[in-house]
Amino acid sequence: MKHTKMAGLCARVALLMPLAACLQGATVTFGNLVAGATSYGFDGDGDTIADVVFSTTDPLGFNTSGPGPFQLYVYQAGLEGTSLLNPDLRVDFLHGATGSIQFGFAVNSQAPGANVFAGFQLFDAGNNLLGSATVLGARFPIPPIQSTFAEGQLSLMFSGRAAYGLFNFSSSSPTGRFFLDNFTGTFGSTESVPEPASGGLLLGGLAALYWGGQRRANRRRAAAVRCHPSTTNGTITMAGRIFPVRATSTKDTPKSNVAGRRRIGRL
Ligand SMILES: [Ca+2]
Ligand SMILES: [Ca+2]
């Protein structure tokens, strides 16, 4: 029986372990971006040191006005900047990034085309290219309308540890602007607890729950053993305390048993 319960717990741990790993990613939403700033820092672990830093060479800096509410992949307010440069934006990872990067983007073009896109390149600390991707912007159905501006979602899986990334956005508008939002990845410092420790804590917590339950069950069994009726003097003894037996009719028996169980439960 115990083995069966432990097997059940192990199965639950196995189900929860991937969840713990997933929690180590982070999504940057630029909610506190300051208009006019030329850089934006994301502090994933709360130690006041930015772990992911976005920067532009545009002296006018970023904007926060955004493309409006009718977009699928970009929400007010993301990070807005000029798309007239190449690169338009750079991101640096203080602790490196691993696995994959994903983000939503839009540009101020209403008509999709070959010159409406987002391009992204990732490099390691030795300036070696780890991966790159380009996604054309499109307008998606958002019933009863569709995206106001061409947009898309770029996903890039890669091996190694990325040190920085370069963005190049393109818009068909002469006042080219891009919007970036929901920049998602694993940035090293986003884990407040390292992965193995997370698993250990999870196992420890489940084990404590299991053994706590066993102790409570043992106490209840011990109390039940101490609970034995005296048939000669009309009393019942529970855990050393004596209670009078009021009635012996079959009608009262279930209620008395319930009361007895409630008392045992409070011991
Ligand atoms: Ca930090
Ligand atoms: Ca550009």
Determine which helix (DSSP H) or strand (DSSP E) holds 260, and give its type and residue range. Answer: helix 253-265
Predicted local confidence at residue 191, as pLDDT: 56
Predicted local confidence at residue 24, as pLDDT: 62
Among 67-76, 132-141, 233-242, top mean pLDDT goes to 132-141
How far, in Å, from the CA of 117 to the mean position of ligand 2?
Answer: 9
CATH of the domain spanning 25-186? 2.60.120
How far, in Å, from the CA of 40 to the mean position of ligand 2?
Answer: 19
Q: Find the ligand nearest to 89 CA.
A: 2
How far, in Å, from the CA of 166 to the mean position of ligand 2?
Answer: 10
How far, in Å, from the CA of 47 to the mean position of ligand 1?
Answer: 5
pLDDT of 198 above 90: no
Residue of higher predicted confidence among 194 and 81: 81
How far, in Å, from the CA of 254 to the mean position of ligand 1?
Answer: 62
Predicted local confidence at residue 76, as pLDDT: 77
pTM metric for this prediction: 0.65
**Among 97-111, 112-126, 199-213, whose mean pLDDT is lowest?**
199-213
Mean local confidence (pLDDT), 188-193: 63
How far, in Å, from the CA of 175 to the mean position of ligand 2?
Answer: 11
Predicted local confidence at residue 45, as pLDDT: 87
Mean local confidence (pLDDT), 82-91: 98
Q: Find the ligand nearest to 42 CA.
A: 1
Q: Find the ligand nearest to 95 CA.
A: 1
Residue of higher predicted confidence among 219 and 149: 149
Q: Find the ligand nearest to 115 CA.
A: 2
Instruction: Give residue limits of the domains in the chain.
Output: 25-186, 195-265
3-state secondary structure of 83: coil
Residue 114: Cβ within 10 Å count: 8
Task: List, for residues 153-179, the tens digit of each pLDDT value.
Answer: 999 999 999 999 999 999 999 999 999
How far, in Å, from the CA of 146 to the mean position of ligand 1?
Answer: 38
Residue 40: Cβ within 10 Å count: 22
Beta strands in the chain (DSSP E): 26-28, 39-42, 52-55, 79-82, 89-107, 117-123, 129-136, 141-142, 145-146, 151-157, 162-170, 177-186, 228-230, 235-238, 241-244
How far, in Å, from the CA of 10 to the mean position of ligand 1?
Answer: 34
Residue of higher predicted confidence among 83 and 236: 83
How far, in Å, from the CA of 45 to the mean position of ligand 1?
Answer: 5
